């Protein structure tokens, strides 16, 4: 991807042609790169998961599921984005990430042509959450950074906790 | 001897509650009505930055909206239908919109040094007839140490 160094406007834009999936968490609409999503599936057959000790950044993971011997931890998107509890109904199974994301609904797929840099005034967790902002019919939609939902380090911590839990309960670890 | 320069400058004065505040006119790029079209209405997306209430689209740019009222006058801010769009000193995407009531005016004045026990985001004072107006340092105001 090329990043223009000589934009006439002050906001840097990544000029792209990219397909994104639009989804809702509560009333907030987000976009995620379609190529970052392996599968969209119903929320069913989820197992409860407790990390054990309180951990602010991992409280958003309370469920998991197994598929083909692989464990997927489920990140509650409402908790991730510090929103009021929603009604998760769909799972975005992420590609190249140890997690999947529970969202309220999927709107549609959409081609976007530019990602605007998140303005400097935003200095909180959103700098990690978002790759930038895109405009869809005049509406500003944040484009999420898929890897921010669950980092590899967090995934490793969760997997270790799961192994420990299974060991303590006498279950065989995958 | 003070190194403070006492040259005359132009300032934009804007009311906030019962007080007026000032910004150097060189920082202010426009005074805009907040709801000229649906697309120019403030939009919101999740974030954790204090004082930022959303974004507006201005001249094809996504401009963050910073409501300074909670810091300047507390929670009882009046309805505001205009934005002062300012250019911040640093950064690439520097524009920021500050909601104001619209009764703004320009004033030529000397910026006097801060005296007394004023908040750290006040970078100077203007003496205007029967009124002392605080000149704001928006960067300082937006910084976390001031808000905390």
Q: What is the ipTM of this complex?
A: 0.83
The span from the CA of B112 to the CA of B128, in Å, is 11
Kindly list the structural domains of chain A, giving each domain's residue range(s) and its CATH number in brackets, ordered by start.
13-168 (2.40.50.180)
Q: Which two tokens stand for residue A18?
A: 């990219």
Q: Please tell me whether residue B26 adopts helix, strand or coil conformation.
A: helix
The span from the CA of A51 to the CA of A48, in Å, is 10
* Residues of chain B with C-beta less than 8 angstroms from the C-beta of A141: 45
* Residues of chain A with C-beta less than 8 angstroms from the C-beta of B39: 138
**Tokens 């300074």, residue located:** B68
Q: Decide if A11 touches B, using CB distance below 8 A.
A: yes
Q: Return the higher-pLDDT residue of A142 and B82.
A: A142
Res B25: pLDDT: 93
What pLDDT digit, counting tens, does each position of A38-49 carry?
Answer: 999 998 888 887
Q: Which two tokens stand for residue B25?
A: 């006119």
The rounded percent of chain B whose pLDDT value lies above 70 is: 85
Is CATH 2.40.50.180 the right assignment for the domain spanning B8-139? yes
Residue contact B88–A142, C-beta within 8 A: no
Are A113 and A17 within 8 A, CB to CB?
yes
* Angle at alpha carbon of residue A70, lines to A65 and A73, rounded to 5°: 40
The rounded percent of chain B whose pLDDT value lies above 90 is: 45
What pLDDT digit, counting tens, does each position of B20-52 carry?
Answer: 999 999 999 888 887 666 556 789 999 999 999
Residue contact B49–A126, C-beta within 8 A: yes
**What are the sequence ranges of the domains in chain B?**
8-139
């Amino acid at each position: 991807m090329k990043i223009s160094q000589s934009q006439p406007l002050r906001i840097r834009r990544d000029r792209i042609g990219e397909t994104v999936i639009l989804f809702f968490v509560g009333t907030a609409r987000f976009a995620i790169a379609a190529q970052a999503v392996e599968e969209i599936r119903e929320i069913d057959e989820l197992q409860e998961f407790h990390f054990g000790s309180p951990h602010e950044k991992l409280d958003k993971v309370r469920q998991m599921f197994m598929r083909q011997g692989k464990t997927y931890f489920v990140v509650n998107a409402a908790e991730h984005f510090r929103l009021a509890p929603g009604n998760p109904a769909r799972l975005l199974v992420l590609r190249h990430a140890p997690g999947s994301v529970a969202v309220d609904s999927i709107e549609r797929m959409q081609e976007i042509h530019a990602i605007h840099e998140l303005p400097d005034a935003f200095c909180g967790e959103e700098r990690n959450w978002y790759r930038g902002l895109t405009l869809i019919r005049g509406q500003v939609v944040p484009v999420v950074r898929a890897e921010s939902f669950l980092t590899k380090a967090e995934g490793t911590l969760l997997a270790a906790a799961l192994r420990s839990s299974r060991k303590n309960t006498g279950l065989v670890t995958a | 001897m003070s190194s403070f320069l006492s040259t005359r400058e132009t300032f934009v004065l804007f009311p906030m509650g019962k007080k007026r505040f000032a910004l150097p006119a060189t920082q202010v790029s426009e005074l805009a009505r907040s709801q000229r079209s649906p697309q120019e209405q403030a939009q919101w997306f999740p974030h954790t930055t204090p004082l930022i209430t959303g974004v507006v689209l201005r001249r094809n740019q996504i401009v963050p909206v910073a409501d300074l009222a909670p810091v300047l006058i507390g929670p009882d801010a009046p309805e505001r239908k205009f934005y002062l769009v300012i250019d911040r000193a640093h950064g690439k995407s520097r524009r920021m919109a500050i909601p104001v009531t619209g009764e703004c005016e320009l004033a030529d004045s000397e910026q006097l040094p801060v005296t007394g026990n004023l908040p750290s985001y006040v970078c100077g004072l203007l003496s205007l007839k029967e009124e002392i107006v605080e000149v704001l340092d928006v960067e300082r105001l937006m910084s976390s140490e001031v808000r905390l």
